[in-house]
């Protein structure tokens, strides 16, 4: 079966192609990973089903393989791959414990795009006192963009966007049951935010949030670099 | 056309019958108000359409009439009506300026049920610093229940419920446009709250929020009274 | 993986932190329970998955452990925990047999917050004659707040709120299939109630209903106590 | 513009064609009414817009014209039309005052199909004591089918169906605002009924409810008649 | 755990209580069945889960047990139960092969309420020629009410209601995928019918459709009987 | 304000650019019409608001202007425009009287694309006997594609697609009120059709249905022509 | 259990009956396949569940059986079946790798209706450069109709319809998660297309898309043929 | 009536407070504008209702007032206000003519935050050739972020994000009718994008899109500046 992984995306967009593992057969995933390794020296896979994980690992035994378990993510590096370090800095915040896997998916992507990541987890609005100090530290540490992952009421991104002097990306998670559950209320609340400077991606789309935040941070970092030369 | 306004509700429930003006003809409203005045000495009308307002006023010229304009509410008192003062205390908070009319509808009802009301308006999550001092004062003033009116993201009730030592009633308002607009995101976010002790009423239902809060406050006040005798 | 269970909530809010078991790994649940036991002497867990139950029990063998099976709830008490008895009284009513598990979740929380609970189950509107006597007894027994759990048509909370002289909390359950199933019709019908003094929590949110009812009952009881001293 | 009003329906179905006035131009309405008068000796029009009313009346000056104002319905009788009296008996109940217009639309149709109608209005679940006596009288008066019109929570039809020994037709009305408003909660609650023997028609579809109830009553009446000959 | 099966329903309503098996534990089902057998001599169970089936059968070995497999329905008769034969006649039509189980659920109930049933299956609008002859035969055989089960487009009930001289009950089934799938389009299309005399029950609610049809047929049959004496 | 009407579409696609009048200011409409007249010799405007109609007419006094009132459509021909006649043949059927305006919008487009149109109106499923003869004639007259416009239950397109030997395009209209109203049930029912060969366009999208049908008919006609030379 | 597979459809419609395997029991599938083989010499089964596959194959051992694995489709040919070759040509395009199974389902049907198929897979809008050359080739190869399968954003069909001189059928797939997932956004985006000449079928309805495209192509091919004789 | 406009936001966030005119009374708007002028020297008002426009202008006669008509936006400058020029560069693209007002709202905000804006309008996917050249020029002109406004199918932002090397903000507009109309399909399609680096704001939220884009551009510009000193 024919697939056309977009190896040129990295050069064109400054963002890597990511293989979405959930709805693909293991054989397809392996074939696409080979394609990307040949083209760019690295293959990133998200939402790897547990039944694919070991098979994919086995298929790339000669390679350096890094997994981020909570996020069900895997990165395979070819022998010549040289990680770059852009100097960008992204904050990743989660409202609850259950939002951590999606936050981690975003963090993996941000790192693979060469940024430094600071994570602050389980600081939701039910006890806002937990948020104050780590957030102040993050601002002081010259962060370029902040991702806020939240399910249920989705209130935390609005609170952070009311305070932060940088762009905030709302990342709703599918946590929550009943009416507005599975992330629906969280997403809608973020779309309806009365705080300025909050844009959103879809429910559980850690990859999308990570790419957007890293694109911002890398462009800022590039401006810093270019001038400092 | 026959109507059966429930004059016995006040005795049975401790909450007055309220005439919902929006979908009734002016003649019906006047007839029902006469029925309630005869039965309980007072008639409360909510959502009075502008085209009904003057006509209703004219029909009750000998009576004391009180209007709360933002809320489109009217109360008509019979000559023998004696307001009672229960000693209950309810806080009414609004997130934005546009939520004030709905908050005011709740305040009217709470007052008519004999409670003291403290209003704090325009203190939403886009600038949480505005909330801190008035909220602390409210707790210190021995409030029995708090109503929080919010549209758009509906995040404020969750923040207040995370802090308040008394029951909080979330009152979503129909403010907001686009996906989740007209109060939908606000209501869903409140239903999905991760803060404890928040129950909700429907979008724009100031009457319902007011009755619930006053029922709580009056039961507490009654216990205080009874014992102090 | 870092979690920050909010041990201070009990002091601040008068309501305990509750660990939501459904979307957490067993190891996370055990870690959080240890955190809460250390902070407050007690850990309450809701929606414990069957695969977690035995493991969690095993991890707390030296402790007193109480489970409420229908509700999939567990409470772990530290050696020094002294249950308090506030004097509050809450009624918990269910419309059908299938609504009982959610009603029980509410009952557990109400009890852990120190209130007396009276349960009346399977008295829905398809045969209202079953409701009359037990409800009259409940009013006579000086109940402070009533929770009404109902799925399908969700009509019972409106009927009870039309009669009860205390605040009623509507607790929709995910019982029902087809259009409006899984609790959607029940929740919407409660939000649209034409009876006064009914506020609601989300579908299957027994924890939320229990906390709200107990906050009300405890505030009333506290007023009774304070004066009687 | 060509229209094909179905004059044969009455013979085929035992139910008259009804012209839906709301989305038709006045000229179309008049043309269709002439068609039906020619074919069946009678034309029934529902949802007549106020701007059409006088024009239509003027166009049929030689005819007997009957209007039912609350329902915005009009019936035009040709000179030779002989009303028939089937002996069927239908009850029409409304929950609130605002539901009366839709209930009246159903009543008009039932009468035009030759049945006797008993109306009981404003007896919703917020004060169920208002319902008991009139309902008992209705059963005693050998009613063949009952229509229950309700908006907002839509709880009344389930209560009635729990008690009535005849088929009940739930008629949701578009009364109610906020989530589940405009009759949505009412319809869903009726579809989710836990009471037996309740079927429903769409929101505000008084015509549909009336035809179904009258078809039932007429078939029963016909059986009564046929045998008594 | 307490349950209150409504054994008096049969006398009050002329319709039996039916135990909904899907969301109940096997032990609860058996207890409720014993309750109904004691009260009425018969227990009807719908939506029996496969894991409950054998256990329930085993618990009632001395009894006559009848199962209708496609419908997952079971009826248990006590030794003294005497089936009655009312003389009512109900037609049950299905649009597709996949709608048959739901149609059969309706048929079981109709039979247990003492009516004769005629089934016509797999005659949907994709090939209407299949419908013509059996439908004409049904009318000729003096049918009192017709149930039409349909999923997907839900068009068949409107077609039948356009032709039938008796009340038609639309029974949407959860067949169909994609937008409007799981019976949603079918239900909505029936609610929006432009044919007269069609009322509906919820998706897959064969029990509800059966009770309504049998209530109609039995009332007609009773009129026939009474007069013929 | 800059606009870029796509005059090249006709050459590229074989379908004309159509100006959507409803959300444009009159000045914009006139400017775009001039652009299209210059590019292709003709300008087609749909959904012309009544307040724009006269102004637009006035602006093109020297031109041949054709309006189709029911459809709120206007076509302006430049002096050199030569209508072409492709030989394609399209049927346009409407279920009810109220669906005619949308059907007419489709008919205008089909004609402007050079096809012959046969219209059959008001033949919905509530009385299917009205459909039989005209449909048989249409098949006999060698029709290439059929558009079926229907609101409410949307059942007619499925019935026609069950019979027609050519592609059928379902055109849902926004006729109908209550749940599934405004064309929602009609669209969903068409998407869920169990008849083969039915594809759909959005609610009230007469333009889209017309273009698709004419593209089909013209391709067939072209094949006929090409060979006959 | 009685089924009535519509063997006459092929003659009447020019489109074969297709057995939908997903919601049928294996025994039903085999019985219906025998019916179709007897009537038309061929049986096509779609959405065959894995648990049915081998059983069905075993039941038709003497027959030629063709499976298309990605599409979970099977075709069984009787001994006398002669495939016909109409000369029609249909393009089938997929946006992503995950959309291929649904695209393949469409392709099977198109082939069984006698057309030639050209497939172009994995050319979505995230990298449009992949689309240009194969699309130009398709136009040059005299394609009669194009099916475009796309999940997630559903943007590709609009892009193709903006370019193609033939009818385009949008085939949304259930790929995508979060808000608008499972094909909902894809379908809605296609319904809202601003490109001319795009009609759609329901999510994952490869059979429906295939029949529509083949009906178009075959009618064109027939016109070509007829004239060339 | 008390309001608390957040004059400190500009210093804290780098983004101005914006008065949402649509749901406020004219008197409230004027009062809030005075508050902001006193605090920051400038007041920005969006969605000014036509009935407020002249009154507000009249109230600020001594001030410099700038209106952007398509966007219904107004900016009032105090005498000492000094516009700053950050060096940031933002692209604003619209798919259709009808999307321009929302695009203009975004452009106003971007300009008021000190950035340069390049607008490219009416280049949607129905004719993608119109997009190619202006987009290439935009990349060459060192743009920092791109806003893409689109209604109906919402396909353009995905196409642009597939090509652009900078963050893209999707801005759905409420253009479009029928299913998925009023911007719903557009928003969902953007949320479901398969292109990397696209985040979104709510339907018609030009202010939100503008603030996010300007925050990005200003941070990049600041980095450029800081280094160049
Ligand atoms: N977890 C994820 N969430 C959202 N998008 C993803 C994810 N993983 C991969 N993608 C993107 O989705 C596209 C999927 O296309 P395909 O792999 O062809 O089905 C890829 O180009 C990725 O950029
Ligand atoms: N603004 C309001 N919102 C919600 N409920 C109301 C409002 N005003 C009155 N009600 C209640 O709604 C019921 C309306 O019933 P009716 O007046 O009979 O249509 C009354 O009994 C009131 O308790
Ligand atoms: N069954 C339940 N339903 C609703 N809320 C719950 C339930 N159990 C726990 N919670 C609350 O949900 C919050 C979940 O946050 P976390 O455990 O950090 O994901 C806790 O603070 C609890 O107060
Ligand atoms: N399959 C079914 N569909 C709809 N209603 C049912 C069904 N089976 C039983 N019921 C009714 O639903 C009610 C369920 O209440 P409970 O058994 O108390 O949860 C019973 O009184 C039955 O009348
Ligand atoms: Mg937590
Ligand atoms: Mg404000
Ligand atoms: Mg029960
Ligand atoms: Mg009333
Ligand atoms: Mg079939
Ligand atoms: Mg008609
Ligand atoms: Mg791909
Ligand atoms: Mg344009």
The answer to whether the beta carbons of residues A208 and H196 sit under 8 Å apart is: yes
Closest to E197 (Cα-Cα) out of D209, D110, D172, D108 = D209
The CA distance from C28 to C1, in Å, is: 8
Mean pLDDT of B73-87: 95
Task: Determine the atom of ligand 2 nearest the C-alpha atom of B47.
Answer: 1
- Rounded to the nearest angstrom, the distance between the alpha carbon of F104 and the centre of ligand 9 is 34
Q: pLDDT tens digit string along E71-82?
A: 999 999 999 999
Chain F: partners with 3+ C-beta pairs within 8 Å: D, E, G, H
**Which among A167, A196, A220 has CB closest to H223?**
A220
Residue A8's pLDDT band (cuts 50, 70, 90): confident
| Distance between B132 CA and the closest CA of chain A, angstroms | 12
Residue F10's pLDDT band (cuts 50, 70, 90): confident
Residue A228's pLDDT band (cuts 50, 70, 90): low
Chain centroid offset of residue G73 CA: 10
* CA-nearest residue, atom 18 of ligand 4: C96
* CA-nearest residue, atom 12 of ligand 2: C194
Mapped onto helix, strand or coil, the DSSP state of residue A140 is helix
Question: How buried is residue G67: exposed, middle or buried, by Cβ count under 10 Å (0-12/13-18/19+)?
Answer: middle
Residue by residue, DSSP assigns G170-216 as EEE-S---STTTTTHHHHHHHHT--STTEEE--TT-HHHHHHHHHHH
Q: Is the Cβ atom of C173 under 6 angstroms away from ligand 3? A: no
- F31 to E7, F20, F185, H70, H94: CA distances (angstroms): 76, 13, 38, 17, 18
Vertex A9 angle, CA A8 and A10, to 5°:
95
| Distance between C204 CA and the closest CA of chain D, angstroms | 17
Q: Work out whether the CA dihedral F90, F95, F97, F99 comes out positive or negative.
A: negative
Average pLDDT, chain B: 93
Residue G227's pLDDT band (cuts 50, 70, 90): low
The rounded percent of chain E whose pLDDT value lies above 90 is 83
Question: How buried is residue E228: exposed, middle or buried, by Cβ count under 10 Å (0-12/13-18/19+)?
Answer: exposed
Residue of F128, F156, F184, F192 to mutate for E, most E C-beta atoms under 10 A: F192
- Show which residues on chain C lie within 8 Å of chain E, measured between beta carbons: 70, 97-98, 100, 121-123, 126-127, 129-130, 175, 177-181
The answer to whether the beta carbons of residues H123 and H109 sit under 8 Å apart is: no
Domain G89-223 matching CATH 3.40.50.620: the answer reads no
Q: pLDDT tens digit string along G63-78?
A: 999 998 889 999 999 9
Torsion angles phi and psi, residue H5, rounded to 5: -60, 140
In chain A, domain spans: 9-77, 89-223
The answer to whether the beta carbons of residues D88 and D218 sit under 8 Å apart is: yes
The answer to whether the beta carbons of residues E102 and E202 sit under 8 Å apart is: no
Q: Is the Cβ atom of C113 under 6 angstroms away from ligand 3? A: no
The CA distance from G156 to G145, in Å, is: 16
Residues of chain H with pLDDT under 50: none
State residue G91's pLDDT score.
98
Those residues with Cβ within 8 angstroms of residue H226's Cβ, 6 or more apart along the chain or in another chain:
A224, A227
State residue C69's pLDDT score.
83
Residues of chain D with pLDDT under 50: 1
Structure tokens at A180: 């507005």
Set of chain B residues whose Cβ sits within 8 Å of the Cβ of D70: 1
The answer to whether the beta carbons of residues B133 and B157 sit under 8 Å apart is: no
The answer to whether the beta carbons of residues H179 and F203 sit under 8 Å apart is: yes
Mapped onto helix, strand or coil, the DSSP state of residue A197 is coil
Q: pLDDT tens digit string along C4-26?
A: 777 777 888 889 999 999 988 89
| Distance between A15 CA and the closest CA of chain H, angstroms | 7
Q: Which residue has the higher pLDDT, E89 or F9?
A: E89
CATH topology for B13-77 is Translation Initiation Factor IF3 (3.30.110)
In which residue are the tokens 């018969």 written?
Answer: E42
The answer to whether the beta carbons of residues C181 and A154 sit under 8 Å apart is: no
Q: Is the Cβ atom of H194 under 6 angstroms away from ligand 1? A: yes
- Rounded to the nearest angstrom, the distance between the alpha carbon of B18 and the centre of ligand 2 is 6
Q: Is the Cβ atom of G125 under 6 angstroms away from ligand 1? A: no
Helices (H), chain E: 9-13, 26-40, 50-59, 100-112, 132-140, 156-163, 184-191, 206-228
Average pLDDT, chain A: 93
Mean pLDDT of B179-193: 98
Residue by residue, DSSP assigns H85-147 as ----EEEEEESSSTTHHHHHHHHHHHHHTT-EEEEE-S--GGGGGGTHHHHHHHHHTT-SEEE
Ligand 4 probe mutation, C94, C101, C126, C174, most atoms within 8 A of CB: C126
Residue by residue, DSSP assigns E170-221 as EEE-S---STTTTTHHHHHHHHT--STTEEE--TT-HHHHHHHHHHHHHHHH
The answer to whether the beta carbons of residues A12 and A39 sit under 8 Å apart is: no
Beta-carbon separation of D166 and E215 below 8 A: yes
**Partners of B93 in the β-ladder:** B120, B148
Q: Beta-strand (E) ranges in chain B? A: 18-20, 42-46, 64-68, 73-77, 89-94, 116-120, 145-150, 168-172, 198-200
- What CATH number has the domain spanning C9-77? 3.30.110
Q: DSSP class of residue A228? A: H
Mean pLDDT of G44-60: 95
Task: Determine the atom of ligand 1 nearest the C-alpha atom of H195.
Answer: 23
Q: How many residues does chain G have?
A: 229
- Show which residues on chain B lie within 8 Å of chain H, measured between beta carbons: 70, 97-98, 100, 121-123, 126-127, 130, 175, 177-181
- Rounded to the nearest angstrom, the distance between the alpha carbon of B137 and the centre of ligand 10 is 66
| Whether residue A93 has pLDDT greater than 70 | yes
User: At C155, which helix (H) or strand (E)?
Assistant: none
The rounded percent of chain F whose pLDDT value lies above 90 is 82
Number of H helices, E strands in chain F: 8, 9
Q: pLDDT tens digit string along G176-192?
A: 999 999 999 999 999 99
The answer to whether the beta carbons of residues H73 and H48 sit under 8 Å apart is: yes
Structure tokens at H71: 């966007």
Chain C: partners with 3+ C-beta pairs within 8 Å: A, B, D, E
Mapped onto helix, strand or coil, the DSSP state of residue D65 is strand
| Whether residue E23 has pLDDT greater than 80 | yes
Four-point Cα dihedral B178, B183, B185, B191, nearest 10? -170
| Distance between A53 CA and the closest CA of chain G, angstroms | 19
| Among chain F residues, CA nearest to D8 | F127
CB atoms closer than 10 angstroms to residue A129: 12
The CA distance from H212 to H62, in Å, is: 32
Q: DSSP class of residue A4? A: -
Residue range D12-77 forms a domain whose CATH class is: alpha beta
| Among chain H residues, CA nearest to G97 | H194
The answer to whether the beta carbons of residues C40 and C10 sit under 8 Å apart is: yes
The answer to whether the beta carbons of residues E1 and E25 sit under 8 Å apart is: no
Set of chain F residues whose Cβ sits within 8 Å of the Cβ of E187: 180
Q: Is the Cβ atom of B40 under 6 angstroms away from ligand 2? A: no
State residue F9's pLDDT score.
77
* CA-nearest residue, atom 9 of ligand 3: C20
**Which among C162, C184, C194 has CB closest to D152?**
C194
Those residues with Cβ within 8 angstroms of residue C136's Cβ, 6 or more apart along the chain or in another chain:
none
Q: pLDDT tens digit string along E128-167?
A: 888 989 999 999 999 999 999 999 999 999 999 999 999 9
Torsion angles phi and psi, residue G139, rounded to 5: -60, -45
State residue C12's pLDDT score.
82
The CA distance from C197 to E173, in Å, is: 38
State residue C9's pLDDT score.
79
Average pLDDT, chain F: 93
The CA distance from D189 to D192, in Å, is: 5
State residue D92's pLDDT score.
98
Set of chain B residues whose Cβ sits within 8 Å of the Cβ of A188: 179-180, 184-185, 188-189
Residue E227's pLDDT band (cuts 50, 70, 90): low
Q: Is the Cβ atom of A72 under 6 angstroms away from ligand 1? A: no
C-alpha gyration radius of chain D: 18
Residues of chain C with pLDDT under 70: 1-2, 227-229
Residue B8's pLDDT band (cuts 50, 70, 90): confident
Closest to C159 (Cα-Cα) out of C208, C124, C107 = C124
Set of chain C residues whose Cβ sits within 8 Å of the Cβ of A123: 4
Closest to A184 (Cα-Cα) out of A195, A193, A173 = A173
- What CATH number has the domain spanning E14-77? 3.30.110
* CA-nearest residue, atom 18 of ligand 3: A96
Q: pLDDT tens digit string along A143-155?
A: 999 999 999 999 9
Average pLDDT, chain E: 93
Residue range F16-77 forms a domain whose CATH class is: alpha beta
| Whether residue G127 has pLDDT greater than 90 | no
The CA distance from B136 to G186, in Å, is: 49
Ligand 3 probe mutation, A122, A126, A173, A176, most atoms within 8 A of CB: A126
* CA-nearest residue, atom 18 of ligand 1: G96
Residue of F177, F182, F183, F184 to mutate for D, most D C-beta atoms under 10 A: F177
Mapped onto helix, strand or coil, the DSSP state of residue F217 is helix
Q: Which residue has the higher pLDDT, F219 or B9?
A: F219
Q: Which residue has the higher pLDDT, B13 or C103?
A: C103
Set of chain C residues whose Cβ sits within 8 Å of the Cβ of E4: 121-123, 127, 130
- Rounded to the nearest angstrom, the distance between the alpha carbon of C178 and the centre of ligand 4 is 13
Task: Determine the atom of ligand 4 nearest the C-alpha atom of E4.
Answer: 18
Residue B228's pLDDT band (cuts 50, 70, 90): low
């Amino acid at each position: 079966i024919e697939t056309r992984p977009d190896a040129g995306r990295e050069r064109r967009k400054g963002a890597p192609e990511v293989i979405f593992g959930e709805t693909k057969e293991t054989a397809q995933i392996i074939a696409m990973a080979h394609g990307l390794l040949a083209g760019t020296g690295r293959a990133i896979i998200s939402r790897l089903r547990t039944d694919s994980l070991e098979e994919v690992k086995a298929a790339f035994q000669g390679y350096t393989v890094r997994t981020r378990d909570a996020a069900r993510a895997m990165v395979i590096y070819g022998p010549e791959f040289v990680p770059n370090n852009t100097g960008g800095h992204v904050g990743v915040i989660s409202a609850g414990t259950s939002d951590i896997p999606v936050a981690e998916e975003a963090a993996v992507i941000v790192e693979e795009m060469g940024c430094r990541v600071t994570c602050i987890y389980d600081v939701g609005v039910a006890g806002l006192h937990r948020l104050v100090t780590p957030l102040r530290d993050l601002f002081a540490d010259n962060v370029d963009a902040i991702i806020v992952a939240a399910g249920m009421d989705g209130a935390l991104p609005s609170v952070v966007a009311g305070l932060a002097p940088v762009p905030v990306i709302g990342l709703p998670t599918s946590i929550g049951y009943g009416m507005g559950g599975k992330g629906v209320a969280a997403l809608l609340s973020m779309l309806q935010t009365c705080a300025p400077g909050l844009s959103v991606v879809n429910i559980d789309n850690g990859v999308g949030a990570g790419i957007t935040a890293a694109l911002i941070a890398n462009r800022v970092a590039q401006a810093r670099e270019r001038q400092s030369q």
